[in-house]
Amino acid sequence: MIKAGIVGGTGYTGVELLRLLAAHPEVKLEVITSRSEEGMPVAEMYPNLRGHVELCFSVPDMAVLKACDVVFFATPNGIAMTMAAELLDAGVKVIDLAADFRLQDAQEWAAWYGQPHACPELISEAVYGLPEVNREAIRTASLVANPGCYPTAVQLGLLPLIENGLVETANLIADAKSGVSGAGRKATVATLLGEASENFKAYAVSGHRHLPEIRQGLQQATAEKIGLTFVPHLTPMIRGIHATCYAVLKSAKVDLQAVFETRYADEPFVDVLPSGSHPETRSVRGANTCRIAIHRPQDGNTVVVLSVIDNLVKGAAGQAVHNMNIMFDFVEDYGLQGIPLIP
Protein backbone atom coordinates (compact mmCIF):
# COMPACT_ATOMS: atom_id res chain seq x y z
CA MET A 1 0.00 0.00 0.00
CA ILE A 2 1.37 3.39 -1.01
CA LYS A 3 0.37 6.88 0.14
CA ALA A 4 -0.74 9.30 -2.59
CA GLY A 5 -1.25 13.05 -2.57
CA ILE A 6 -2.92 15.28 -5.12
CA VAL A 7 -2.01 18.93 -5.55
CA GLY A 8 -4.86 20.85 -7.13
CA GLY A 9 -7.86 18.67 -6.60
CA THR A 10 -10.83 20.85 -7.48
CA GLY A 11 -10.62 20.57 -11.27
CA TYR A 12 -11.99 17.83 -13.48
CA THR A 13 -8.72 15.90 -13.70
CA GLY A 14 -8.33 16.17 -9.93
CA VAL A 15 -11.74 14.67 -9.20
CA GLU A 16 -11.13 11.99 -11.83
CA LEU A 17 -7.90 11.08 -10.05
CA LEU A 18 -9.82 10.87 -6.78
CA ARG A 19 -12.47 8.64 -8.34
CA LEU A 20 -9.87 6.22 -9.69
CA LEU A 21 -7.49 6.23 -6.72
CA ALA A 22 -10.31 5.77 -4.19
CA ALA A 23 -11.01 2.39 -5.79
CA HIS A 24 -7.35 1.39 -6.19
CA PRO A 25 -6.44 -1.66 -4.05
CA GLU A 26 -2.86 -0.49 -3.41
CA VAL A 27 -3.39 3.23 -2.71
CA LYS A 28 -4.26 5.23 0.40
CA LEU A 29 -5.29 8.80 -0.37
CA GLU A 30 -3.34 10.97 2.04
CA VAL A 31 -3.97 14.58 1.03
CA ILE A 32 -5.83 16.66 -1.54
CA THR A 33 -4.98 20.34 -1.80
CA SER A 34 -6.80 23.50 -2.79
CA ARG A 35 -5.96 26.96 -1.51
CA SER A 36 -9.38 28.37 -2.41
CA GLU A 37 -11.43 25.54 -0.89
CA GLU A 38 -9.41 24.86 2.28
CA GLY A 39 -11.48 22.98 4.84
CA MET A 40 -14.28 21.96 2.47
CA PRO A 41 -15.04 18.22 2.43
CA VAL A 42 -14.23 16.77 -0.97
CA ALA A 43 -17.60 15.02 -1.08
CA GLU A 44 -19.35 18.36 -0.62
CA MET A 45 -17.92 19.63 -3.89
CA TYR A 46 -18.13 16.26 -5.64
CA PRO A 47 -21.06 14.28 -4.20
CA ASN A 48 -20.22 11.24 -6.35
CA LEU A 49 -17.31 10.66 -3.93
CA ARG A 50 -19.53 10.61 -0.83
CA GLY A 51 -18.74 7.45 1.12
CA HIS A 52 -15.53 6.92 -0.83
CA VAL A 53 -13.33 9.94 -0.02
CA GLU A 54 -13.43 11.37 3.50
CA LEU A 55 -10.70 13.99 3.00
CA CYS A 56 -11.11 17.75 3.15
CA PHE A 57 -9.26 20.12 0.86
CA SER A 58 -6.18 21.64 2.49
CA VAL A 59 -3.52 24.17 1.56
CA PRO A 60 -0.35 22.62 0.16
CA ASP A 61 1.96 21.63 3.00
CA MET A 62 5.35 20.40 1.83
CA ALA A 63 5.88 18.33 4.98
CA VAL A 64 2.64 16.44 4.35
CA LEU A 65 3.40 16.00 0.66
CA LYS A 66 6.90 14.72 1.45
CA ALA A 67 5.34 11.96 3.56
CA CYS A 68 3.63 10.59 0.43
CA ASP A 69 5.09 7.97 -1.87
CA VAL A 70 3.69 9.68 -4.96
CA VAL A 71 2.30 13.15 -5.60
CA PHE A 72 0.11 13.99 -8.57
CA PHE A 73 -0.08 17.55 -9.84
CA ALA A 74 -3.52 18.32 -11.29
CA THR A 75 -2.69 22.00 -11.41
CA PRO A 76 -2.48 24.72 -14.06
CA ASN A 77 0.71 24.87 -16.10
CA GLY A 78 3.62 26.40 -14.19
CA ILE A 79 2.87 25.04 -10.70
CA ALA A 80 4.51 21.61 -10.64
CA MET A 81 7.85 22.96 -11.83
CA THR A 82 8.08 25.16 -8.70
CA MET A 83 7.57 22.23 -6.29
CA ALA A 84 8.86 19.11 -8.03
CA ALA A 85 12.55 19.43 -7.13
CA GLU A 86 11.93 19.54 -3.37
CA LEU A 87 9.64 16.51 -3.53
CA LEU A 88 12.08 14.55 -5.67
CA ASP A 89 14.90 15.35 -3.25
CA ALA A 90 12.74 13.86 -0.50
CA GLY A 91 12.36 10.62 -2.46
CA VAL A 92 8.77 11.26 -3.55
CA LYS A 93 7.76 10.21 -7.06
CA VAL A 94 6.03 12.97 -9.03
CA ILE A 95 3.46 12.66 -11.82
CA ASP A 96 2.57 15.97 -13.46
CA LEU A 97 -0.72 16.07 -15.35
CA ALA A 98 0.01 19.59 -16.62
CA ALA A 99 2.53 20.45 -19.33
CA ASP A 100 5.52 21.54 -17.25
CA PHE A 101 7.81 18.67 -18.23
CA ARG A 102 6.37 17.44 -21.53
CA LEU A 103 8.62 19.40 -23.88
CA GLN A 104 12.33 18.65 -23.88
CA ASP A 105 13.37 22.16 -24.87
CA ALA A 106 12.94 24.80 -22.15
CA GLN A 107 13.00 27.67 -24.63
CA GLU A 108 10.33 26.05 -26.77
CA TRP A 109 8.26 25.47 -23.63
CA ALA A 110 8.58 29.16 -22.69
CA ALA A 111 7.56 30.23 -26.19
CA TRP A 112 4.38 28.15 -26.14
CA TYR A 113 3.40 28.67 -22.50
CA GLY A 114 4.31 32.33 -22.11
CA GLN A 115 6.64 32.12 -19.09
CA PRO A 116 10.20 31.00 -18.39
CA HIS A 117 10.65 27.44 -17.17
CA ALA A 118 11.38 27.42 -13.43
CA CYS A 119 13.53 24.29 -13.35
CA PRO A 120 14.93 23.45 -16.78
CA GLU A 121 17.49 21.17 -15.11
CA LEU A 122 14.70 18.63 -14.42
CA ILE A 123 13.44 18.44 -18.00
CA SER A 124 15.99 15.82 -19.03
CA GLU A 125 15.12 13.77 -15.95
CA ALA A 126 11.40 13.69 -16.75
CA VAL A 127 10.01 10.68 -18.61
CA TYR A 128 7.17 11.27 -21.04
CA GLY A 129 4.38 9.11 -19.68
CA LEU A 130 2.93 7.43 -22.75
CA PRO A 131 3.14 3.79 -21.58
CA GLU A 132 2.71 2.35 -25.07
CA VAL A 133 6.03 3.99 -25.99
CA ASN A 134 8.03 4.52 -22.79
CA ARG A 135 6.96 1.71 -20.48
CA GLU A 136 10.47 0.64 -19.44
CA ALA A 137 11.64 4.21 -18.81
CA ILE A 138 8.50 4.89 -16.77
CA ARG A 139 9.24 1.82 -14.66
CA THR A 140 12.37 3.43 -13.21
CA ALA A 141 11.27 7.08 -13.37
CA SER A 142 10.93 9.47 -10.44
CA LEU A 143 9.36 12.27 -12.50
CA VAL A 144 6.74 11.54 -15.15
CA ALA A 145 5.25 14.07 -17.54
CA ASN A 146 1.73 12.84 -18.16
CA PRO A 147 0.80 13.40 -21.85
CA GLY A 148 -1.89 15.79 -22.97
CA CYS A 149 -5.27 14.50 -24.14
CA TYR A 150 -4.98 15.44 -27.83
CA PRO A 151 -1.37 14.17 -27.99
CA THR A 152 -2.42 10.80 -26.57
CA ALA A 153 -5.15 10.23 -29.15
CA VAL A 154 -3.10 11.51 -32.10
CA GLN A 155 0.17 9.76 -31.27
CA LEU A 156 -1.49 6.39 -30.67
CA GLY A 157 -3.23 6.80 -34.02
CA LEU A 158 -0.15 7.69 -36.06
CA LEU A 159 2.79 5.97 -34.36
CA PRO A 160 2.39 2.48 -35.91
CA LEU A 161 2.52 4.04 -39.37
CA ILE A 162 5.58 6.15 -38.60
CA GLU A 163 7.48 3.48 -36.65
CA ASN A 164 7.18 1.13 -39.61
CA GLY A 165 8.11 3.75 -42.21
CA LEU A 166 4.81 3.31 -44.02
CA VAL A 167 3.83 6.93 -44.67
CA GLU A 168 5.18 10.23 -45.91
CA THR A 169 5.89 12.16 -42.72
CA ALA A 170 6.16 15.68 -44.15
CA ASN A 171 2.41 16.36 -44.43
CA LEU A 172 0.59 14.56 -41.65
CA ILE A 173 -2.83 15.88 -40.63
CA ALA A 174 -4.63 15.48 -37.32
CA ASP A 175 -8.19 16.77 -37.17
CA ALA A 176 -9.32 16.40 -33.55
CA LYS A 177 -12.49 17.17 -31.59
CA SER A 178 -12.83 17.49 -27.83
CA GLY A 179 -15.60 17.75 -25.30
CA VAL A 180 -15.97 20.88 -23.18
CA SER A 181 -14.36 19.34 -20.09
CA GLY A 182 -11.05 19.56 -21.93
CA ALA A 183 -11.12 23.30 -21.23
CA GLY A 184 -11.10 22.67 -17.48
CA ARG A 185 -13.47 23.77 -14.72
CA LYS A 186 -12.77 27.48 -14.91
CA ALA A 187 -15.59 29.84 -15.79
CA THR A 188 -15.26 31.20 -19.33
CA VAL A 189 -17.85 32.49 -21.78
CA ALA A 190 -16.83 30.01 -24.49
CA THR A 191 -17.76 27.02 -22.32
CA LEU A 192 -21.13 28.32 -21.06
CA LEU A 193 -24.03 26.04 -21.95
CA GLY A 194 -25.58 28.73 -24.13
CA GLU A 195 -22.32 29.13 -26.06
CA ALA A 196 -21.09 25.55 -26.43
CA SER A 197 -24.37 23.67 -26.77
CA GLU A 198 -25.66 23.07 -30.30
CA ASN A 199 -22.43 24.52 -31.63
CA PHE A 200 -19.25 23.21 -33.24
CA LYS A 201 -16.10 25.17 -33.98
CA ALA A 202 -12.40 24.95 -34.63
CA TYR A 203 -9.98 26.92 -32.47
CA ALA A 204 -6.24 27.65 -32.20
CA VAL A 205 -5.79 26.78 -35.87
CA SER A 206 -2.65 28.91 -36.10
CA GLY A 207 -1.00 26.88 -33.35
CA HIS A 208 -2.18 24.92 -30.32
CA ARG A 209 0.05 24.20 -27.30
CA HIS A 210 -0.29 20.48 -27.91
CA LEU A 211 1.23 20.76 -31.39
CA PRO A 212 4.91 20.74 -30.30
CA GLU A 213 4.19 17.87 -27.90
CA ILE A 214 2.63 15.73 -30.62
CA ARG A 215 5.36 16.62 -33.09
CA GLN A 216 8.07 15.79 -30.54
CA GLY A 217 6.57 12.37 -29.83
CA LEU A 218 6.19 11.48 -33.49
CA GLN A 219 9.69 12.74 -34.33
CA GLN A 220 11.22 10.34 -31.83
CA ALA A 221 9.84 7.46 -33.89
CA THR A 222 11.61 8.37 -37.15
CA ALA A 223 14.68 9.97 -38.66
CA GLU A 224 12.48 11.63 -41.27
CA LYS A 225 11.28 15.17 -40.65
CA ILE A 226 7.81 15.40 -39.17
CA GLY A 227 5.45 17.94 -40.69
CA LEU A 228 2.10 18.08 -38.88
CA THR A 229 -1.04 20.14 -39.31
CA PHE A 230 -3.08 19.87 -36.12
CA VAL A 231 -6.52 21.45 -35.87
CA PRO A 232 -8.54 21.10 -32.65
CA HIS A 233 -12.29 21.58 -32.41
CA LEU A 234 -14.74 22.12 -29.57
CA THR A 235 -17.81 19.87 -29.62
CA PRO A 236 -21.05 20.13 -27.60
CA MET A 237 -20.37 17.17 -25.33
CA ILE A 238 -18.77 16.89 -21.90
CA ARG A 239 -16.23 14.09 -22.32
CA GLY A 240 -14.38 12.57 -25.22
CA ILE A 241 -11.84 13.16 -27.97
CA HIS A 242 -12.14 11.95 -31.53
CA ALA A 243 -8.98 12.33 -33.63
CA THR A 244 -9.12 11.73 -37.37
CA CYS A 245 -5.56 11.36 -38.63
CA TYR A 246 -4.53 11.44 -42.30
CA ALA A 247 -1.30 10.28 -43.94
CA VAL A 248 -0.12 9.33 -47.43
CA LEU A 249 1.11 5.78 -47.84
CA LYS A 250 4.48 5.10 -49.44
CA SER A 251 3.13 1.82 -50.78
CA ALA A 252 -0.38 0.40 -51.03
CA LYS A 253 0.97 -3.11 -50.56
CA VAL A 254 0.65 -3.29 -46.81
CA ASP A 255 -1.85 -4.87 -44.43
CA LEU A 256 -2.58 -1.86 -42.22
CA GLN A 257 -4.96 -3.78 -39.99
CA ALA A 258 -2.23 -6.31 -39.20
CA VAL A 259 0.30 -3.53 -38.53
CA PHE A 260 -1.93 -1.95 -35.88
CA GLU A 261 -3.07 -5.24 -34.36
CA THR A 262 0.54 -6.37 -34.00
CA ARG A 263 1.71 -3.04 -32.56
CA TYR A 264 -0.92 -2.96 -29.84
CA ALA A 265 -1.41 -6.68 -29.25
CA ASP A 266 0.02 -6.53 -25.73
CA GLU A 267 -1.30 -3.12 -24.75
CA PRO A 268 -4.08 -3.39 -22.15
CA PHE A 269 -5.61 0.00 -22.95
CA VAL A 270 -5.51 0.17 -26.75
CA ASP A 271 -8.27 -1.59 -28.64
CA VAL A 272 -7.80 -1.99 -32.39
CA LEU A 273 -11.27 -2.47 -33.82
CA PRO A 274 -12.13 -4.78 -36.73
CA SER A 275 -11.52 -3.49 -40.22
CA GLY A 276 -14.11 -0.96 -41.37
CA SER A 277 -15.16 0.07 -37.86
CA HIS A 278 -16.01 3.59 -36.72
CA PRO A 279 -15.15 4.11 -33.04
CA GLU A 280 -17.43 6.32 -30.98
CA THR A 281 -16.47 8.55 -28.07
CA ARG A 282 -19.29 7.10 -25.97
CA SER A 283 -17.62 3.67 -26.21
CA VAL A 284 -14.75 4.90 -24.01
CA ARG A 285 -16.64 7.22 -21.66
CA GLY A 286 -15.23 6.81 -18.16
CA ALA A 287 -12.61 4.23 -19.20
CA ASN A 288 -8.85 4.29 -19.72
CA THR A 289 -9.19 2.97 -23.26
CA CYS A 290 -8.16 4.19 -26.69
CA ARG A 291 -10.14 2.61 -29.52
CA ILE A 292 -8.64 2.77 -33.01
CA ALA A 293 -9.90 1.96 -36.49
CA ILE A 294 -7.96 2.11 -39.76
CA HIS A 295 -9.41 3.01 -43.17
CA ARG A 296 -8.08 3.41 -46.69
CA PRO A 297 -10.84 5.19 -48.62
CA GLN A 298 -11.41 3.85 -52.15
CA ASP A 299 -8.28 1.71 -51.66
CA GLY A 300 -6.24 4.82 -52.43
CA ASN A 301 -2.92 5.96 -51.05
CA THR A 302 -4.38 7.91 -48.12
CA VAL A 303 -4.76 6.16 -44.77
CA VAL A 304 -7.31 7.50 -42.30
CA VAL A 305 -6.92 6.51 -38.66
CA LEU A 306 -9.78 7.10 -36.23
CA SER A 307 -8.77 7.32 -32.57
CA VAL A 308 -11.11 7.94 -29.61
CA ILE A 309 -10.41 8.41 -25.91
CA ASP A 310 -12.05 9.89 -22.83
CA ASN A 311 -10.02 13.08 -22.39
CA LEU A 312 -10.30 12.93 -18.58
CA VAL A 313 -9.25 9.27 -18.28
CA LYS A 314 -6.89 7.95 -20.97
CA GLY A 315 -6.20 11.60 -21.78
CA ALA A 316 -5.39 12.58 -18.19
CA ALA A 317 -6.15 10.90 -14.84
CA GLY A 318 -6.40 7.30 -16.03
CA GLN A 319 -3.10 7.51 -17.85
CA ALA A 320 -1.54 9.03 -14.71
CA VAL A 321 -2.77 6.06 -12.66
CA HIS A 322 -1.46 3.69 -15.33
CA ASN A 323 1.93 5.40 -15.04
CA MET A 324 1.81 5.08 -11.25
CA ASN A 325 1.04 1.36 -11.55
CA ILE A 326 4.10 0.88 -13.74
CA MET A 327 6.34 2.99 -11.47
CA PHE A 328 5.39 0.98 -8.39
CA ASP A 329 5.32 -2.40 -10.14
CA PHE A 330 1.58 -2.91 -9.64
CA VAL A 331 -0.61 -4.81 -12.05
CA GLU A 332 -1.07 -2.29 -14.86
CA ASP A 333 -4.86 -2.24 -14.82
CA TYR A 334 -5.29 -1.84 -11.05
CA GLY A 335 -7.90 0.84 -10.46
CA LEU A 336 -8.60 1.03 -14.20
CA GLN A 337 -10.86 -1.92 -14.80
CA GLY A 338 -14.12 0.00 -15.09
CA ILE A 339 -16.35 -0.65 -18.09
CA PRO A 340 -17.27 2.42 -20.19
CA LEU A 341 -20.64 4.05 -19.55
CA ILE A 342 -23.40 3.91 -22.19
CA PRO A 343 -25.58 5.91 -22.53
Catalytic residue from among 56, 68, 149, 290: 149
Question: In the 3-class helix/strand/coil scheme, how is 152-213 assigned residue by residue?
Answer: HHHHHHHHHHHHCCCEEEEEEEEEEEECHHHHCCCCCHHHCHHHHCCCCEECCCCCCCHHHH
Q: 47 preceded by cis ω (within 30°)?
A: no
pTM metric for this prediction: 0.97
Active site residue 245: no
Rounded average pLDDT per 10-residue block, the chain, 343 residues: 96 95 97 94 95 96 98 97 98 98 97 96 97 98 98 98 98 97 89 93 96 98 98 97 98 95 98 97 98 96 98 98 98 96 92
Please tell me the predicted confidence (pLDDT) of residue 334. 97
Query: Which domains are delineated in the chain?
Result: 2-125 (3.40.50.720), 150-311 (3.30.360.10)
Please tell me the predicted confidence (pLDDT) of residue 187. 81
Please tell me the predicted confidence (pLDDT) of residue 252. 85
Q: Are 131 and 319 in contact (CB under 8 A)?
A: yes
Largest CA distance in the chain: 62
